[in-house]
Structure 1
Amino acid sequence: MNKEHHNFLFDDKQTKKIMRKARFWSTIKMIGITLIVTPIVLIAFWYGLRHLSLNSAQKVSDDIHLFNEISAPNVQISNQKYDDNLLGGKIITTTYKVLGDQHRPYIWTPIESDYNLFGTLTQTYISKSIQIEGSESLAETHQLERFNDYTGDREMFFYHPKISYDQYKDKISELKQLENNTLVELAISFDNAYSFDEIKSKLPTEVQVDWWWVDAYTDDTLDFFQQGQNTIPANYPYIYGFQSEQSKPKPRRSSSNEVDTFIRNIELLRESKNFEWETNEVYQALIGENGNLETSDVKIIGAVVTGTPEQLQLLQGKSYIKASTFGVISNQK
């Protein structure tokens, strides 16, 4: 009995020793596997986030390009710099304006845009105008000269043909006061809404058109503008149009015209998370009675033209031009 009891105690101790040894080596094995697998998982996770972040940056970049194509009067993108991290990042977009038929670039305001990991814009920093005070009249306040707070240049503004203003600027008549070695950016507002082909046939062929302003405003918006006789500044977030083919130094290879490209860009942006609200507003303001956006629905109510004072004086006395305001005035040297 005692011998059996002794053997039992021996077996129990031996079993515990074996189990401890097994647990020890199991722990060592788990630690080894963890040390090997964890870096692999972390690296794979890092690369996954990095890939998603880069894709998000590219998506936001494409959306910024598309939105610039349907807005931003005479403002083109020259470059974009990414400052990305695993949770999103920042895109700095450098821009320029085109002046004259030689396509002289004029450096303009950079745009900073923050985005998250999923490719959604979270904040955009846009330059604001410096407005010189000096009028008590509300109507005159909306026509005071504005200056860009980054470059110090004049900011253009437009007059909507469906709004009655007490007064209109006529900067075309002041062109003769400028020296011929300058390049001028001029915003012209038409007296009515025209089809693209109709207004192109009216403008002198010697005048360089860089941007076309599209009538993309709802009746409610125009009623609001009418109450204060609001003009529409060129840096206004909700001003829409498209770059002219004349403003591009290289001819476009696409067979579609500028209006068709404008419509295509709107439809592409409507499918994006970024600028969805803005493009839906444009779409709803433009669509015809059939519920579709077609070329005939796009009406032109203004333009940005550039050139020398002598070239732009060809616009003097044109009855379809209701008003004109200066933008950039630059020495050619």
Structure 2
Amino acid sequence: MKSDDEKLKELFGEKEKPVFSKVIKKAKIFSVLRTIILSLMIVIILSFVVLISNAKILNNMGEQKQMDLSTWYNISMPNAYIGNIQFDDRIFTGEIDFVRYRFLGNKPITDGSYKEGYGFPLINGIYGDLGFTLFGGSNINEMTSYNKAGKRIMKFYHPSVKYDNYINNLDVIDKIGANKLAEMSLSFDKAYTIDEVRQMLPKEITLNWYWVDTYNEKDLSMTGMSDKNEKSNKDSVVFEENYVYGIKALDLLGNKIDNPEEMFIGAITMGSKDKMVASIYKNIFNKLSQGKGEVKKDDLKIIGVVVSGDIDSLKKLKNQNYIKAATLGAVADKY
């Protein structure tokens, strides 16, 4: 038979055990909840910091990309200008979407929508290469190329290269309606100064762009034959408009620039000193400066131009001895 003490211990011991278990269980639940809440707070804070940092970094990258594009268009892309821009920032990567336009006489026309990426994507989800053209061609000399907006891509012929064939679209300009505007690339027979070019072109024509001779013998001998070799080569290098460099004669609003060479010289001078940009700026600067450490207006040899206007004005270019080749670019209605 149990004593009174044993009965009391047995009675109170059974009641204390479940109470103590409940306390421990509540403590464990509280600890888990506290850990979850702290983890969520840390995740939220870190996510907020990452998003803010991502936005700030990509914003700086986007602005730098825009500046780089503007500088690039100052030395390349004949008669092409950057229009409205939209930034699309994501996680660790972004894109600039922009409209491109051209001037035919004093009329602006759209030249398609384009994208440029920036940032540091962790996963590359886009494959392939859109390139500059709608479709590829096997012979650049004979085939007409079109850009992604369906515009004819102009071609340029270097005066020191002897070609078997030259394109001269001035011969077919009469077939274009009188109510049309057009742009054309003109490749010269030799190099001229900027002032000489202004004097020899008909006044009725809009001068849009100057093609500057930025090539050395090695550049031309890689794919073409120079006159020094006294040979011709039907596969000699013909430059498409996306791969030539020069001076824009009109500003973003289509107004004539008084001293257009200053913008070109400033762009290549600044680019040649910046280690973060493409080496093309340095190559062009070295070719034009010839070791002088600076580029002046007299160093710019013009070997071609892009002009535009109505069909009657462009007809005045026919039978001009200084034109070796002429290729048609964009065509649009006058009104």
Q: Aligning the two structures, in what range does the TM-score lie when normalised by the shorter sequence?
A: 0.7 to 0.9
Asked whether 1:53 is paired with 2:58, we answer yes
Taking a change above 3 Å as real, the CA distance of residues 59 and 125 of structure 1, as seen in their structure-2 partners, is farther
Q: Which digits, 9 at most, give the CA deviation of each residue in 1:100-125, with x for residues without a partner?
A: 1xx2222213322221159xxxx985
Aligned to 1:177: 175
**How far apart are 1:241 and its partner, in Å?**
1.0
2:71 match: 66
Q: Which runs of 5+ in 1 are unaligned?
A: 1-23, 134-140
Amino acid at match of 2:214: A
Q: Distance in 1 between the 2:32 and 2:89 partners?
A: 40
Which 4+ residue blocks in structure 1 deviate beyond 4 angstroms? Answer: 26-42, 271-275
Q: Which runs of structure 2 are paired with 1:306-317 in the superposition (5 Å)?
A: 306-317=308-319
In structure 2, runs of 5+ residues without a counterpart are: 1-27, 122-127, 226-234
Cα distance in structure 2, aligned partners of 1:225 and 1:186: 24
Matches within 5 A, 1:29-48: 39-40=44-45, 42-48=47-53
Using the size of structure 1 for normalisation, the TM-score is: 0.77
Q: Aligned ranges for residues 250-329 of structure 1 at < 5 Å? A: 250=255, 257-272=259-274, 275-329=277-331
Distance 2:267 2:193 in 1: 19
Displacement after TM superposition at 1:157 (Å): 0.3
Equivalent residue, structure 2, for 1:216: 214
Q: Is the 8 A contact 1:98 1:104 kept in 2?
A: yes
* Whole-Å separation in 1 of the counterparts to 2:276 and 2:203: 37
**Partner-residue secondary structure (3-state), 1:147:** coil
Counterparts of 1:140-179 in structure 2, within 5 Å, are 141-179=139-177
The match for 2:108 is 105
Partner Cα distance (2:171, 2:165) in 1: 15
Q: Which residue of 2 aligns with 1:198?
A: 196
Question: In the alignment, what sits opposite 1:96?
Answer: 101
Contact residue 220 and residue 237 of structure 2 kept, 8 A: no
> Which secondary structure state, in structure 1, belongs to the residue aligned with residue 112 of structure 2?
coil
CA shift in 2, pair 1:231/1:129, >3 Å: farther
Relative to structure 1, the CA distance from residue 277 to residue 132 in structure 2 (aligned partners, 3 Å threshold; closer, same or farther) is closer
When Rg is computed on C-alpha atoms for both structures, the one with the higher figure is: 2
Q: Note closer, same or farther for the CA distance 1:30–1:162 as it changes in structure 2 (3 Å cut).
A: same
Report the Cα distance in structure 1 between the residues aligned to 2:52 and 2:198, rounded to whole angstroms. Answer: 52
C-alpha contact (below 8 Å) 1:168/1:322 kept by paired residues? yes
CA deviation after TM superposition for structure 1 residue 65, in Å: 1.4
Within the candidate set 232, 238, 241, 1:231 is matched to 238
Between the aligned residues of both structures, percent identity stands at 26
TM-score by length of 2: 0.77
The alignment of Structure 1 onto Structure 2 pairs a total of residues equal to: 295
**Paired residue type of 2:156:** F
